[in-house]
């Protein structure tokens, strides 16, 4: 039984880097997919709308852990052996796309209808409406909840530990199994997560306040 | 004659703003006292002191036998069972029906049975002419109807004194009349009433005592006819003439 | 791809999966109920005049919301065991889930309570109602109605998150699936089946919440408007 020491903290911090990497990957891929989903959700094309809506409803009704298991264990048995990192990345991207798509859809719809009407009457086509008028406004509205969701992303990366990926949580489990000091070890892990997440939460609140003031 | 309200040399400030600067006033049982004056003269604050919504800084104030200037000895809940108040924004409970708005206090405070409470609700709704609206929700009522329900809600508690804080100021002119009619009926029925109002004609016709407030003090007090026709001070003169 | 799907071996275990789903329902329902009470009490306490109380509530909410549920579950299960409190996996699961959903509920209820116009409270107090009665009839009940959609979304997220307790071997649906998977090696089929099962549970919970709202919020049922 080893005492918990600075070496362990170092190990945790190194693992935390992977947590950040995984979060960024999830946000990048999930963000791109989520953007497409959001646009499809507000599309005049009924098929696209329904596909996007169905996707969101299904993914939001399944635990992330189950998606991870399907991606890692499920696909492995079927012949697609993915590394934990890739499986986690794909699962998180799928999950984030659904939630970000829903958030961003709300933000697009929060832009007043009059903006659509005004730009249409000026002769813009749908693409120009979106890029020049609607999306710039939607992005402003979307900033607080998007930054808020990044907190969820960081926390969700902890599930990658379940399929063996050595992120911050897995590192904590490994250390706990040799030091048997769960309060100290997981307390430290929680603290590192807190240091990653709290600034994002605070930033989100800051953006929200700014948005409410400017909308007065 | 018993004075329901005895106020002596009342002082109150909000921060550095001296709102009440030595107010003295008595209200006898069965009287209607109308308080008039410009905005900022302290009228609403004075009214809100009468049921403990505002704390007093100095002075004596006794309402229905309660010493309001001694907050630690004051039983606010007992006081409020005896003093009813109606607000400018009626403050009906939006999630409850009209009937439940009225019976809520009766069943929770006076521990009445639902049957008894409903009987009283029916009675007071009849008084204000709205017994057919007892299943409606506040959002379905007009402003005048909502205000009459608010009056009924306070009346249901059988208070000795009713306070009215500019209850018609937020209403369209057509709706004001129905509320004033209810208040007139109340007065004729012998209820002791203190009202802050801008309805000069109403005050002139029905008030026993008119109180003109200016800069936190009782500037002039007396029967309305006298004050309106013979204002002693320049301020009241200006106030009265600006209204005509 | 030379893989033949075999769902039958999964369906052969339907009774165990059903038991697992039942435990998921029980864990979630209990945690939701307890967490709702905890959250509401904390939201009320969050308006205390004592800065210490306000600070503690704030700290509770921020710590829980900025750390992963998995780590919280480990802290409860392994942490308490290390100081002598050996809890069953299910008990630890309920505790961790309750504490977690309590923090989110605190935030949601705080917003709901703050949305009640002060004039309402004044009017109720002026009728002579006690603080307790005012809080219950005029503040809490309308507040819950206002934030009900946010609350129920959060509760359904909690039900889905209960899958995480499989990591401390609480025998809920995901843990049962892991067991079946280790015996039948039909990973894809098993997890696909419980994915559908969770979707069904989501619908079930959504339906239950809808039913509750119809019974509790009479005005909304009759008029169809928002408070």
pLDDT digits (tens, 9 = 90+) for C112-128: 999 999 999 999 999 98
Give Cα C160 distance to the centre of its chain: 9
pLDDT of residue C148: 95
B interface test, pick of C126, C220, C226 with most B CB neighbours within 10 Å: C126
- Does the beta carbon of A180 lie under 8 angstroms from any beta carbon of chain C? yes
Average pLDDT over residues C146-167: 95
Best CA proximity match to B137, nearest among B170, B105, B106, B101: B101
Mean pLDDT of B45-62: 91
For A162, other C-beta atoms within 10 Å of its C-beta total 24
CB contact under 8 A, C128 and B80: yes
- What rounded mean pLDDT belongs to chain B? 91
The pLDDT confidence band at residue A2, using thresholds 50, 70 and 90, is low
CB-CB neighbors (< 8 A) of B104 in chain C: 127, 129, 137
Closest-CA distance, B76 to chain C, in angstroms, reads: 8
Confidence class of residue A197 from pLDDT cuts 50, 70 and 90?
very high
Whether the predicted pLDDT of C153 surpasses 80? yes
pLDDT recorded at residue B72: 74
Residue A46's pLDDT is 94
Mean pLDDT of C128-154: 93
Is the pLDDT reported for residue B150 higher than 70?
Answer: yes
User: Please, what sign has the CA dihedral across residues C185, C187, C193, C199?
Assistant: positive
Out of A169, A182, A183, name the one closest to residue C68 (CB): A169
Tokens of C194: 């419980």
Q: DSSP alpha helices (H): ranges in B128-198?
A: 143-155, 173-188
Q: How confident is the model at residue B108 (pLDDT cuts 50, 70, 90)?
A: confident
| C2: pLDDT strictly greater than 60 | no
Confidence at residue A123, expressed as pLDDT on a 0 to 100 scale = 84
Alpha carbon of A61 to those of A68, B83, C198, C204: distances in Å? 14, 55, 7, 11
A77 touching chain C per CB within 8 A? yes
What residues of chain C lie within 8 A of the CB of B53, using their CB? Answer: 122, 126
Work out the number of other CB atoms within 10 angstroms of the CB of residue B192: 24
Interface test mutation site (partner A, options C6, C78, C184, max chain A beta carbons within 10 A) = C78
Give yes or no for a contact between C112 and C149, defined as CB atoms under 8 angstroms apart: no
Token pair for B67? 């010493």
Query: Any residues with CB less than 8 A from the CB of A115 and at least 6 apart, and which?
Result: A133, A134, A137
The pLDDT of residue A215 = 62
Contact call for C188 and A70, based on CB within 8 A: yes
pTM, two decimal places = 0.87
Distance from the C73 Cα atom to the nearest Cα atom in chain B, whole angstroms: 39
In angstroms, rounded to a whole number, what is the distance separating the alpha carbons of residues B91 and B102?
A: 12
Residue whose entry in the numeric block shows the structure tokens 């909410």: C61
Q: In this complex, do A198 and C62 lie within 8 Å of one another by their Cβ atoms?
A: yes
- B 159-218 → C contacts, CB under 8 A: none
Across residues C175-190, what is the average pLDDT? 90
A173: contact with C, CB 8 A cutoff: yes
Helix, strand, coil % in chain C, rounded to nearest 5 = 80, 0, 20
Contact B148/C at CB under 8 A:
no
The 10s digit of each residue's pLDDT in C81-96 is: 988 888 999 999 999 9
User: In chain A, what percentage of residues exceed pLDDT 70?
Assistant: 98
pLDDT band for position A26 (50/70/90)? Answer: very high
Contact yes or no for A18/A168 (Cβ under 8 A): yes
pLDDT in the model for residue C226: 85
C66 in contact with A at a CB cutoff of 8 Å? yes
pLDDT band at C6 (very low <50, low <70, confident <90, very high): confident
In chain B, at which residue ranges do the beta strands (DSSP E only) sit? 3-14, 17-28, 32-37, 58-63, 66-67, 83-86, 161-165, 192-196, 209-214, 217-222
Task: Tell me the pLDDT of chain C averaged across its residues.
Answer: 93
> From CA B81, how far away is CA B84, in angstroms rounded?
7
What chain C residue is nearest to A161 in terms of C-alpha separation?
A: C70
Q: Would the CB atoms of A197 and C66 count as touching at under 8 Å?
A: yes
């Amino acid at each position: 039984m080893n005492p918990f020491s600075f070496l362990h903290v170092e190990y945790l911090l190194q693992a935390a880097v992977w947590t950040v990497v995984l979060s960024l990957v999830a946000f990048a891929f999930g963000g791109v997919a989520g953007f497409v989903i959001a646009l499809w959700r507000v599309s005049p094309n009924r098929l696209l709308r329904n596909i996007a809506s169905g996707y969101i409803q299904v993914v939001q009704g399944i635990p992330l852990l189950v998606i991870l298991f399907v991606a890692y264990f499920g696909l492995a048995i079927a012949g697609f052996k993915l590394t934990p990192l890739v499986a986690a990345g794909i699962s998180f991207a799928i999950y984030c796309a659904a939630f970000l798509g829903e958030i961003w859809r709300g933000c697009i719809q929060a832009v007043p209808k009059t903006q659509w009407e005004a730009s249409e009457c000026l002769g813009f086509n749908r693409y120009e409406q979106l890029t020049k008028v609607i999306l710039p406004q939607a992005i402003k509205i979307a900033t607080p909840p998007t930054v808020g969701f990044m907190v969820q992303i960081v926390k969700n990366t902890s599930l990658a530990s379940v399929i063996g990926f050595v992120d911050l949580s897995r590192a904590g489990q490994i250390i706990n199994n040799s030091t048997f000091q769960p309060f100290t070890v997981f307390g430290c892990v929680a603290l590192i997560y807190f240091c990653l997440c709290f600034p994002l939460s605070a930033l989100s609140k800051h953006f929200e306040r700014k948005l409410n003031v400017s909308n007065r | 004659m018993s004075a329901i309200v005895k106020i002596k040399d009342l002082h109150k400030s909000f921060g550095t703003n001296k709102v009440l600067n030595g107010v003295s006033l008595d209200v006898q049982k069965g009287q209607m006292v109308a308080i008039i004056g410009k905005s900022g003269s302290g009228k609403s604050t004075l009214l809100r002191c009468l049921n403990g919504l505002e704390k007093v800084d100095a002075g004596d104030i006794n309402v229905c036998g309660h010493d309001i200037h001694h907050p630690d000895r004051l039983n606010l809940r007992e006081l409020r069972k005896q003093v009813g108040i109606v607000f400018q924004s009626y403050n009906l409970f939006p999630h409850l029906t009209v009937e439940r708005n009225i019976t809520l206090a009766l069943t929770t405070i006076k521990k009445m049975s639902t049957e008894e409470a409903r009987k009283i609700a029916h009675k007071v709704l009849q008084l204000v002419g709205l017994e057919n609206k007892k299943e409606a929700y506040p959002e379905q009522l007009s402003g005048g109807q909502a205000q009459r329900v608010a009056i009924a809600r306070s009346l249901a508690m059988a208070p000795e004194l009713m306070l009215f804080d500019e209850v018609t100021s937020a209403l369209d002119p057509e709706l004001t009349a129905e509320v004033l009619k209810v208040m007139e009926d109340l007065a004729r029925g012998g209820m002791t009433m203190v009202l802050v109002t801008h309805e000069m004609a109403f005050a002139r016709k029905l008030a026993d005592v008119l109180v003109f407030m200016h800069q936190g003090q009782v500037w002039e007090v007396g029967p309305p006819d006298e004050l309106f026709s013979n204002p002693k001070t320049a301020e009241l003169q200006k106030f009265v003439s600006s209204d005509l | 791809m030379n893989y033949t799907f075999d769902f039958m071996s999964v369906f052969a275990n339907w009774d165990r999966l059903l038991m697992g789903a039942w435990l998921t329902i029980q864990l979630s329902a209990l945690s939701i109920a307890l967490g709702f009470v905890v959250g509401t009490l904390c939201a009320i306490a969050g308006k205390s005049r004592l800065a210490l109380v306000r600070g503690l509530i704030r700290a509770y909410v921020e710590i829980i919301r900025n750390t992963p549920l998995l780590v919280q579950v480990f802290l409860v299960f392994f942490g308490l065991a290390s100081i002598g409190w050996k809890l069953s996996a299910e008990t630890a699961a309920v505790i961790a889930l309750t504490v977690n959903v309590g923090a989110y509920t605190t935030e949601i209820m705080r917003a709901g309570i703050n949305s009640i116009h002060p004039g309402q409270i004044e009017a109720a107090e002026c009728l002579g109602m006690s603080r307790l009665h005012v809080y219950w009839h005029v503040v809490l009940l309308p507040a819950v109605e206002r934030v009900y959609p946010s609350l129920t979304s959060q509760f359904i997220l909690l039900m889905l998150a209960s899958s995480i307790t499989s990591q401390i071997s609480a025998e809920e649906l995901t843990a049962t699936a892991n067991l079946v998977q280790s015996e039948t090696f039909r990973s894809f089929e098993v997890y696909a089946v419980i994915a559908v099962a969770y979707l069904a549970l989501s619908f079930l919970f959504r339906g239950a919440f809808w039913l509750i709202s119809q019974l509790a919020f009479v005005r909304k049922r009759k008029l169809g408007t928002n408070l």
